[in-house]
Amino acid sequence: MPAPDTSAKRPLTADDLFRITLVSDPQATRDGTAIAWVETTLDKDSDSYRSAIWIARPDGSDARQLTAGSHRDSSPRWSPDGKTIAFLSNRPAVMPAAQSTEDGHDTADHDAEPDAPKHADRPGDAKPQTQLWTIRIDGGEADQLTNHPHGVAAPAWAPGGDALAFTAMDDVDEGDGFDAPVTSGGVADERIVRDIHFRADGQGFIERFTHIWQVEIANKTARRLTNGDVHDSAPEWSPDGASIAFVGNRSARRRKDWTCSAIYLLTIDDGSITALTPEDAYFSEPRWSPSGDRIAFLGHLDASQGGSKNANLWTVQSDGSELINHTGEWDISIGDFGMSDVHAASSGSLHWLDDSTMLALVSARGATQVFRMALDGEPGNHHQLTHGNHRVSGFAVVSDGLTLVRGAVDAPFELHACELDGSGVIQISHANDDFLREVALSPAIELDVTSADGQAVQAWLLPPFGFSRDTPAQHPLILQIHGGPHAMYGHAMFHEMQLMAARGYAVLFCNPRGSAGYGEHFTTCTRGRWGESDMPDVIAAVETATGLGWIDRDRLGITGGSYGGYLTNWIIGHDQRFKSAVTQRCVSNFHSFFGTSDIGSTFGRLEFDGVPWHDAAKLLHYSPISHVADMKTPLLIIHNELDFRCPIEQAEQMFTALKYLERDVGFVRIPGESHDLSRSGTPSRRLARLHHLIGWFDARI
């Protein structure tokens, strides 16, 4: 590849995180003549995120910002007539907080003076909750529709345009009569825990259930449509407005096997709920066909296998008959499994083109593309529409083609337009143009890697800022290992990696066995063998990179988060080639992880087919803490104190053991943050984490 021209641009800095705009969630009107999307930025002064809704024609013309302010507006959803957009916002409320009655109706007096909004976990905290609003596109102020005390999510218009469905968390005393997994006690404010899944990362203690609600536009009357000691999500109206398809875990095993998710049908007139699929399945994203005869969705039949099995495209008739797997013979997973730290989520992977054809996102070999899939006729009739080294994270169907959210290693996500066959791609949003004119980003060099047993492994290398093949030099290298493990590095920008390249490091990243995007066997073959089947792949990538002739073999670093933190720990306990290491939100002990992680009792069973009381030797063998005496590499441990996915006790065990052994070890505890700090945490703490990460390598490499 030619040397990147960085002569007129400066290197990236940590503070450039505040310069990058996250473009996401494209939505089209029913007739496809207009689009809406979300632009999100990090605000340094308020130490928070801001997002606004934009609208334009499908070719990007007449673009204008529809909402503004120092809050977060998201999830734009066009009304059926295309004149109004419903959206979510945490802007200050103008309605009193609603309380539901026994019949599930809310009691908000919409003409009364507004009460202070309530926070779900901290009484008296006036921080506004996310509520449902509408705004006309021809002008005027936004109109608040809900003021649920714990906020709302997942808005969906009724086809007649007279109501919206949404989801909201309800207290257990709001007419259900069920015990939540956790409830508060008496004067000591103790918590009484009932269920094995009593806490969730990013949420905390599970003290409420999520149900589906409906609000009428005319009078803003809201009523709950589902109830019980269950969690329901993803409401999707039928085309005739008579029913709602949704995702739920209503199986008899739900209090223990919380990963189960089935597709259900709610009949609006009588409130009856019918399971359309087996209830111990792993399904998501219901989408009605245009005729309303059937529903498409993603997943597989065995919830115990979680995200390790391929997510297939299924349909079921609206009466529950004819459950069909349309991609079972295609060894690929439907959905976007890519990763980035400068990315905001879009709304799903599926869209009906007509009654027999769907468009879907497919992740393969580091890229996410749009495919067209014929559902009737011979299986395997799938056609790739988009091509190239990029990640498409969301799309909408417009009158004359597609609107894509597309990004690459050296290009933040932006809106693009193309024909319905994927041709004629043009960029139609320009939120990051000024940033790109000023800052140099390193392009990726793809490497052909062969592991020790002959397995091909896909890897990429970011050259350092100012790199030139014409000026031979030896550069330090940092190996990045992704989390999951069933996720995928590839053609998407990482601010963190680009920052390392800007500081003079070559940055290596790859998809070892266990990653998504290379077939189900490649994804599942690490189960029961973490560290043994994946470590050779990343070491082979390091050896390929160092064989290029411009990497200094004596200045190698290694880092990773979550599963990547686990593999960082494992590798430095089995290989001494790295001069410095940073492990982030790591796993170190599967024996204790089983009982302390919010997914421990299911994840351990999935990945190791074992439980501590029967399989202690196996779990401890694959735990890095068992190999700590062999760890000689200087190690920094970065962990978030509110991480319930990989609890901080995992970091504490590593630090205590290495300190006891008098090794070079550091420990940074970041307060107030969950497992997702590096992608969606408080901006100032994201910066602090980056400074600790880079500073450790600068001092030791």
Cβ contact 555:577 at 8 Å: no
Strand, coil or helix: 30: coil
Cβ contact 231:248 at 8 Å: yes
Residue 88 sits in a domain of what CATH number? 2.120.10
Cβ contact 298:350 at 8 Å: yes
Q: In the predicted model, is pLDDT for residue 311 greater than 50? A: yes
Residue 395 DSSP class = E
Cα torsion angle, 624, 628, 629, 630, sign: positive
Q: In the predicted model, is pLDDT for residue 657 greater than 70? A: yes
Tell me if residue 326 is catalytic. no
The two tokens of residue 341 are 């730290």
Check whether residue 168 and residue 118 sit in a common domain: yes
Burial 418-429 (b: 16+ CB within 10 A, else e): beeebeebeebb
Tell me if residue 675 is catalytic. yes
Which of the listed residues 262, 295, 325 is the one where a domain comes to its end? 325
Catalytic choice (24, 393, 442, 562): 562
Q: Can you give the pLDDT at residue 503?
A: 98
Q: Which residue, 199, 194, 180, 169, is CA-closest to 599?
A: 199
In a domain, 680, yes or no: no
The two tokens of residue 169 are 């968390």
Check whether residue 265 and residue 129 sit in a common domain: no
Q: Which residue, 372, 380, 502, 390, is CA-closest to 441?
A: 502
Which of the listed residues 264, 295, 325 is the one where a domain comes to its end? 325
Tell me how far apart the alpha carbons of residues 561 and 689 are, in angstroms, rounded to a whole number.
Answer: 12
Q: In the predicted model, is pLDDT for residue 64 greater than 80? A: yes
pLDDT digits (tens, 9 = 90+) for 469-497: 877 789 999 999 999 999 999 999 999 99
What predicted TM-score, i.e. pTM, was given to this entire model? 0.94
Domain count, the chain: 3
Task: Please compute the mean of the pLDDT values over residues 132-146 and round it to a whole number.
Answer: 96
Tell me how far apart the alpha carbons of residues 78 and 98 are, in angstroms, rounded to a whole number.
Answer: 25
Check whether residue 204 and residue 140 sit in a common domain: yes
Tell me how far apart the alpha carbons of residues 58 and 564 are, in angstroms, rounded to a whole number.
Answer: 40
In a domain, 686, yes or no: no
Q: In the predicted model, is pLDDT for residue 423 greater than 60? A: yes
In a domain, 684, yes or no: no
Q: In the predicted model, is pLDDT for residue 132 greater than 60? A: yes
Q: In the predicted model, is pLDDT for residue 422 greater than 60? A: yes
pLDDT digits (tens, 9 = 90+) for 249-291: 998 888 887 789 999 999 999 999 999 999 999 999 999 999 9
Check whether residue 429 and residue 338 sit in a common domain: yes
Catalytic choice (333, 580, 675, 678): 675
Task: Please compute the mean of the pLDDT values over residues 458-468 and round it to a whole number.
Answer: 96
Q: Can you give the pLDDT at residue 118?
A: 31
Q: Tell me whether residue 523 is exposed, middle or buried, using C-beta atoms within 10 angstroms of its C-beta: 0 to 12, 13 to 18, 19 or more.
A: buried
Cα torsion angle, 16, 23, 131, 206, sign: negative
Which of the listed residues 303, 325, 347 is the one where a domain comes to its end? 325
In a domain, 462, yes or no: yes
Q: In the predicted model, is pLDDT for residue 84 greater than 50? A: yes
Task: Please compute the mean of the pLDDT values over residues 651-657 and round it to a whole number.
Answer: 99
Check whether residue 529 and residue 653 sit in a common domain: yes
Supply the range of the domain harboring residue 315.
239-325
Q: Can you give the pLDDT at residue 306?
A: 84
